[in-house]
Structure 1
Amino acid sequence: FSNVSSSMSALSGTCSILKVPCYTDSPLYPRHFRRASSNSNHASRAPNLRTIVSARHPKRPRNSSDQLPVAQRTITKLVELPVIPIGSYISSHPSIIHRLDPRLKQAWLAALLLFPPNGTSEEKLLVCLFLTLLIAVVLPSRSWRPQLTGVASIVASLFLLVFIGADGVLPAAHSREPNYSYEGLEYLQRLEGSYGYMLWHYGPIQITRKSVDLAIGASCLTFTILQSTFLILCTTTPEEMAKGVRWYLRPLSLVRVPTDEIAFSMLMSLRFTAIVFEEMRNLSLGLIARGIDWNSLGWRGITGLLGALTSRMIESLFNSSWAVSAAITSRGYLKATKLQSHMPEARDARGLCMNLASILLLCAFAGFFEV
């Protein structure tokens, strides 16, 4: 509540500077909301988020001019974001991938990004299907379903865009060869199963085999990047991720590359990602509490207000980073090279067998796409 109150006070100053019309003299709730008396039989219900958002905008007929502004709908979606960001480590559902060595996980991540683009379209689709099934088995459904929905919408939009626009523009120059009608080739019967470069053609839009291959390749690569990164982040702690990166970057220390500082910066960025989500939610709650009339602002007022809020959020993030660094320094931190991680390592026979099996599968995966 202290963060929300501070954000509201900051927003009041920002709105006063920018001369933003706000509803401060009247309550946030519409007039037909009344408190239930103590003698009433029905208990009073607390208004939900949509009631607070639409407090100054009562329901009207759904016309194009009566819809909520885009800025208000965007802020409402920001408030509805989860407190824990997507891609955080999940320890409540342990699996075999949780027990693998983090260096092997990062090697698998690099292999999934490098080798499938060399395969055919069917092989790329099989990799995406296998990755989806693996995520569904390893992670709980409440964590991967919202993320999969968003990724599927992004991949579908990219597929349609590349599918239509990759080879959809007709060439400006005409062929120098004579038309096939002059040779009498148009009367030849088309053979079944013959190769055809053009799949569909209508006006200036054409769909060819090249556009299909490019669309499948781009969408599968995007899906593989997002889902494999999501799986690695959900099954690996930030300390293990930093430890693996530090091990891979160790040869660069011979040329005086600050590998320890890079690994430590990665650890801190993974640990404090939730602070960014928290600041966004606090600013959005402050905007909702102010009850800003977005229709009277115009695009210039909205742009100025969003710019001021962005600078306020960046300033708050810098203050939080300074507080974190001061807390770390006060606890005896001197240098990243002197930092030692104390994590239990899996040295039993079962863990070694799983790591060896993962190495063999990785070699087979790389050899399959290189042949």
Structure 2
Amino acid sequence: MDLLRSLPIGLYLEQPITWLHRIDARVKLGWLLTLMLTPISANPWWRLSLVGWLLLFTLATRLPFRVWKRQIGLVLFFSVLLFAVTLFAPDGLTVPNQNRLPADGLTQPAGNAASSAAQTAPRVDPLPQPTDYRYVLFERGNIRVTRRSVELAVRVGTFMFVLIYSTNLYLLTTAPEEITAGLEDLMQPLRRFNVPVTEIVLTLTLSLRFIPLVLEEVQNLVRSIRTRAINWKKLGFRGSTQVWTTVAEKLVDNLLVRAEQIASAMQVRGFTSPDRHQVQWHQFKLGSLDWLALGGIVVFWIARFAIGS
């Protein structure tokens, strides 16, 4: 069990370096926002095309198959499961239906004559529909699929796939320091409004660096429990709860110790204030590949309003 390699959390892939690694982090952030915003109020065909483009884009990056096969498999499984649940769920569209005639028929003083006339009246068949349009696409028992439920299922399934997988691909090909440096560069205008940009970026950097430490501590504790071969059936529910409570307390203690070690290391190296110790990790400079990617964003938005509306 290796949580650092098995979980699809978008950890940075240092090797091999693909052409997607070489694109500026700010440009990739623009593409990420584009992929998240274009599905809003788009038709189902545009949403489905985004899923196909992301799959083709993954193949074009030439990332190792072992890296993204498990990640894309889990994301696809979750999206398909969400699509199926939304498809067979009630669509929430309640249209009031009122009969043209009363349910019990018209009551007249001459009840017998009226009832006999109503019984002998010829039955009128419903008129044929002028088109083959049907709101209910499938109905059998309690299972009912309508046009609205299909549209909602496509919206939810494709949006979750694009949201999760595009973010995962961005984190997979962009170093944490590069992400935070790009955000700091884009947030420079906020300094005029006394926004602590450096503090925010430093906090984000430490958060991204702390994720592998959390996974490492969880992995070590799980391995320590497995090596002890605990008989969970003999412990029962109460005993198992006590064991996992102890493990959770140990995890919190270890994480607090790690955080204290990081804080002490920062103080020793002079990180007492953002103005006294600043490290420039990356010098951003847009190249030909970056300008080509920026032009692709413009073309992508034009296609969204021309085709996806």
Report the TM-score, using the length of structure 1 for normalisation.
Answer: 0.70
Does the 8 Å CA contact 2:3/2:216 hold for their aligned counterparts?
no
SS in 1 for 2:138: strand
SS in 1 for 2:145: strand
CA distance in 1, matches of 2:145, 2:254: 50
Match of 1:127 in 2: 50
Deviation of 1:101 after TM superposition, in Å, equals 1.3
Deviation of 1:359 after TM superposition, in Å, equals 1.4
Match of 2:21 in 1: 98
Deviation of 1:325 after TM superposition, in Å, equals 1.6
CA distance in 2, matches of 1:367, 1:177: 48
1:51-70, aligned counterparts within 5 Å? none
SS in 2 for 1:98: coil
1:359 is aligned, of 294, 298, 301, to 294
Distance 1:217 1:340, change over 3 A: same
Distance 1:287 1:83, change over 3 A: same
Q: Deviations over 1:259-300 (max 9, x none)?
A: 211111111122232111111111111111222111123333
CA distance in 2, matches of 1:147, 1:234: 11
Q: Note the residue ranges of structure 2 that are not aligned, 5 or more in a row.
A: 102-121
CA distance in 2, matches of 1:212, 1:218: 10
The one-letter code of the counterpart of 1:358 is A
Q: Note the residue ranges of structure 1 that are not aligned, 5 or more in a row.
A: 1-78
1:186 is aligned, of 123, 126, 136, to 126
Distance 1:84 1:165, change over 3 A: closer
1:238-277, aligned counterparts within 5 Å? 238-277=176-215
Deviation of 1:170 after TM superposition, in Å, equals 8.8
1:118 is aligned, of 36, 41, 57, to 41
Deviation of 1:183 after TM superposition, in Å, equals 8.8
Does the 8 Å CA contact 2:44/2:154 hold for their aligned counterparts?
yes
2:78 is aligned, of 144, 154, 163, to 154
The one-letter code of the counterpart of 2:302 is G
Distance 1:340 1:185, change over 3 A: farther
CA distance in 2, matches of 1:318, 1:312: 10
Q: Deviations over 1:294-331 (max 9, x none)?
A: 11233333333323322221221111011112112212
Does the 8 Å CA contact 1:117/1:217 hold for their aligned counterparts?
no
CA distance in 2, matches of 1:231, 1:245: 17
Give the aligned length: 283
Does the 8 Å CA contact 1:128/1:220 hold for their aligned counterparts?
yes
Distance 1:314 1:281, change over 3 A: same
Match of 2:145 in 1: 207
Deviation of 1:174 after TM superposition, in Å, equals 5.8
Match of 2:305 in 1: 370
Does the 8 Å CA contact 1:102/1:240 hold for their aligned counterparts?
yes
Identity of aligned residues (%): 27
Report the TM-score, using the length of structure 2 for normalisation.
Answer: 0.83
State which structure, 1 or 2, has the greater radius of gyration over its C-alpha atoms.
2
RMSD: 2.4
Does the 8 Å CA contact 1:115/1:370 hold for their aligned counterparts?
no
CA distance in 1, matches of 2:4, 2:186: 33
Distance 1:121 1:144, change over 3 A: same
Deviation of 1:333 after TM superposition, in Å, equals 2.1
Match of 2:99 in 1: 177
CA distance in 2, matches of 1:368, 1:331: 50
Deviation of 1:83 after TM superposition, in Å, equals 5.0
CA distance in 2, matches of 1:122, 1:344: 40
Deviation of 1:226 after TM superposition, in Å, equals 1.0
CA distance in 1, matches of 2:234, 2:93: 46
